[in-house]
């Protein structure tokens, strides 16, 4: 895949923010940085980067969110702020075997999504 100027803008933004952003947020941040990129170009490039497995796309009720990690990982979703945090969770071989027995499927990879509210006084309460 050719890394155009617009794709480089998007990738650098996602790598720098280490956050999951909507296409609109990506467009707005790039515009604030003075980057010359249009709405359509943002959507087209996000689609191409996702198809190539270079970035991840998470479909949520409030839209698609894009992040820089593509290796298997899990997410913690804040129900108050909408923030998505990448985390690594490792299930034990016994847990994997139990899931395989229950489902009849050979587990090759997994992703766990956690949902919650900030605890009082936590740093995520105002994030």
What is the number of other CB atoms lying within 10 angstroms of the CB of residue 54? 16
Six token digits for residue 28: 């707005």
Torsion, CA 60, CA 5, CA 49, CA 127, rounded to 10: -30
* Domain 74-116 homologous superfamily, CATH: Ferric-uptake regulator, C-terminal dimerisarion domain (3.30.1490.190)
DSSP string across 102-122:
HH---------EEEE-PPTT-
Q: Write the pLDDT tens digit of every residue in 80-120.
A: 988 899 899 999 999 999 999 999 999 998 989 999 999 98
Check if CATH label 1.10.287.610 holds for domain 5-67: no
Q: Write the pLDDT tens digit of every residue in 1-23.
A: 677 889 999 999 999 988 899 99
The model's pTM is 0.75
The pLDDT, as a whole number, for residue 2 is 76
The pLDDT, as a whole number, for residue 124 is 60
Is residue 125 very low, low, confident or very high in pLDDT (cuts 50, 70, 90)?
low
Q: Write the pLDDT tens digit of every residue in 29-67.
A: 999 999 989 999 999 999 999 999 899 999 888 889 999
- Domain boundary assignment for the chain: 5-67, 74-116
Number of H helices, E strands in the chain: 4, 5
């Amino acid at each position: 895949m050719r890394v155009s100027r617009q794709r480089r803008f998007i990738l650098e933004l996602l790598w720098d923010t280490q956050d999951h952003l909507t296409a609109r947020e990506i467009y707005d941040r790039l515009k604030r940085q003075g980057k010359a990129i249009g709405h359509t170009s943002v959507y087209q490039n996000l689609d191409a980067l996702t198809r190539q497995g270079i970035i991840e796309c998470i479909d949520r009720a409030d839209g698609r969110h894009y992040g820089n990690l593509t290796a298997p990982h899990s997410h913690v979703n804040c129900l108050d702020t909408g923030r998505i945090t990448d985390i690594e969770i490792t299930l034990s071989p016994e847990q994997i075997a139990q899931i395989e027995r229950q489902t009849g499927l050979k587990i090759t990879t997994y992703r766990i999504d956690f949902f919650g509210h900030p605890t009082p006084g936590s740093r995520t309460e105002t994030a």
